[in-house]
A and B are shown apart, each in its own frame.
Chain A
């Protein structure tokens, strides 16, 4: 297809992705009377924010004393000091206001007796800079993500945001001076490409949990935005840090919220021992996620796993009583009963650490602007391009995200990006002309899958399964140089094999085979970024646990990785240790 034949639409802002980050930004923009288009490969409320369970952190102090500064400390400690302290201060300071704003937007938060928002304890939370457990996570039962995503979608309906539902983004369009000018997208229903021209483009496409075989993620979480950034010569930051959630349903992966432990649930090994007391004497089951996941893995490795194969541990909840479980954890009970036939009111749930969250992503500053080393420094903004949420790396999560901080991240930076975009639009009033080359490149992606094969080659499904299995085996919870080296080679080989993969469905209307093929391309780029970055980092820091380098090494590795697609090149940049207004929190040994 020729560029000139493709339909074009023009908007002030194009938002790609309709999870909480995208919808928070689009709401901001639509309310400010900007023309905003939201492109999403699924209907907005199918986005993965809908599956977030436990809650959103804000130091409202509704249950016990709290303040944003303690939240900031916990987040920095949780990040193992790899988080940028200016962005973390910004996020924690904004939290209370933005949670209240969500409540005003209609989120049906659970309530305390005085009518204020219900808050529960979550992992890694403390009062007074490492003291007693805090209760900072605002919850709508255990369906907080659902409640937030639906409310944001509803307010976007009210604000008359323009939605392109079930459109798949092929690639960004870049101008001659590296300014991003929109994207080429594909209508899944008709199979027709569409050019969306925009003065600003916001990537809010979520994480890439599907690079791992067993994961808590939706099938749509294929890192599309991250791969688009890579193809636009933008590096990805800190991709070696991938969070394994301690409590996925063993063997299946469905998420069992940290809120279960927040409400008083705890983990048991085969001896019936509450083993977290040994690993984290203070925080116990509410230590941060990397700590709990590693502890479970060690218990199982040392033979104290449960079940006939000793391959999982148990999450005990029944002592909380039927009332608390039905009131505070109804969704978890549903999921446990559906997928394990176990009613947590009666028996414990079998769990195992499961791939969950992409801490790394497209490097941004605290305004949501995509920043990369260019001509004039390490953090130069790419004009017209923004990223928020799981696909972005501000970085507020560093080497480990705290539970309850991801829903916060998306609303805080969705709004921040919205604000900055409004400012940008004020001084950039006209669309620029599109270079044909950039559009052609996007269309080439589509044309590649028109190729017809002999019919007996490897399929998309098979190669995807191989990739996921490889990442699980060679880039899992415990890593060594040797294993990671093999992982890099295997993923590179998979990248080669992709060349020979063809699809047999060349139809236009709702061709999901073609979408899955392009998602696989994206997954491979994400996997390669992850395993190459992991191989290079010779230290252990939270989610990145190197058996051959067991200690954190601040002298050499207190820095962010930057991975480039071309030649799998790595670069590094310093962590921003200086907060906006308070004293810096210098790295300390991290104990829970």
Chain B
């Protein structure tokens, strides 16, 4: 099976290039990450991030045949060869498949992604009904892999002004949490033409999310709350 992999390091390359690799023994169940590890065993200069190998830690988001996904849970059998692997788009490349995630993390931090309660804290757990808790399903599972934001054209165009789908999904995760008490502040923080409203419901985010989450829907919910608040 043939692979074409994006290679670049500021240390030695003036320009990025695509490098071909051929792997002979491809198992029926092999994931792309296993192939990358085999390639690294041949050519240890290839750099990429990886850790849990089961789609939980969010380290190995890459662009695979033009589409963002996690290498560890993408079966080779689902891909057409030659398999083209590039870094996720829209973030500066550090080396090969490794991008600088800091702009993405900055957006995450900007939405105050932490439960905030202003009342005195009781000695027992905050009570939350199973129905209230259900509202967090599809939100808290985000693994911060960045597949969504880096496939979003609004993020590419305005990375410094638009918060991007991952951060906005987390903004909604806390707005939707019956325990959180700073909804008003959260909404005020997202006012203006860019932070939230640059989402044009292109839906690439929901399309590529490896955990099946739907940031577009979350963004729609925030917009609705904004609207309600303004009338």
Residues of A within 8 A of B (CB): 42-43, 45-48, 50-51, 100, 103-106, 108-117, 140, 143, 146-147, 150-151, 154-155, 157-158, 189, 218-220, 254, 331, 334-335, 338-339, 459-462, 503-505, 507-513, 516
Contacts and interface: CB of A to CB of B under 8 A. Distances in A.
Contacts of A516: 44
Nearest to A43: B101
Interface in B20-35: 29
10 contacts: A48-B52, A106-B115, A111-B129, A150-B140, A154-B114, A218-B51, A220-B51, A254-B54, A510-B9, A516-B44
A374 B59 CA distance: 42
Given A46-B57, A51-B56, A143-B141, A509 B11 contact: yes
B124 interface: yes
Given A189-B94, A461-B41, A507 B12 contact: yes
Nearest to B100: A189
B41 A45 contact: no
Contacts of B125: 100, 103-104, 109, 116-117
Contacts of B101: 43
Interface of B: 9-12, 29, 40-41, 44-45, 47-59, 73, 94-96, 98, 100-101, 105, 109, 112-117, 121, 123-130, 132-133, 136, 140-141, 143-144, 177, 179
A45 B143 contact: yes
Contacts of B95: 509-510
Contact of B94 (A143, A150, A218, A510): A510
A417 B135 CA distance: 35
Given A46-B51, A146-B143, A505 B123 contact: no
B59 A46 contact: yes
Contacts of A111: 128-130, 132-133
A459 B57 contact: no
Listed residue (B96, B112, B113, B114) with the most chain A CB atoms within 10 angstroms of its CB: B114
Contacts of A45: 57-58, 143-144
Contacts of A339: 29, 54
Listed residue (B44, B98, B136, B177) with the most chain A CB atoms within 10 angstroms of its CB: B44
B44 A509 contact: no
A154 B116 CA distance: 11
Report whether over half of chain B's contact residues are helix, strand or loop; otherwise say mixed.
Answer: loop
Nearest to B74: A338
A348 to B, nearest CB: 18
Q: Kindly list the 10 A-B residue pairs having the minimum CB-CB distance in the complex, ordered from nearest.
A: A106-B115, A115-B127, A154-B114, A513-B44, A510-B95, A46-B57, A218-B52, A103-B125, A461-B41, A218-B51
A98 to B, nearest CB: 12
Contacts of B117: 104
B124 A508 contact: no
Contact of A115 (B11, B40, B73, B129): B129
A151 B170 CA distance: 12
B96 to A, nearest CB: 8
B51 A219 contact: yes
B117 to A, nearest CB: 7
Contacts of A147: 140
Contact of B9 (A43, A108, A459, A509): A509
Listed residue (A103, A219, A513) with the most chain B CB atoms within 10 angstroms of its CB: A219
A154 B113 contact: yes
A335 B58 contact: no
A462 B115 CA distance: 46
Contacts of B50: 219
Nearest to A507: B11
A451 to B, nearest CB: 15
Contact of A511 (B47, B54, B55): B47
A50 B133 CA distance: 20
Listed residue (B57, B123, B141) with the most chain A CB atoms within 10 angstroms of its CB: B57
Contacts of A113: 129-130
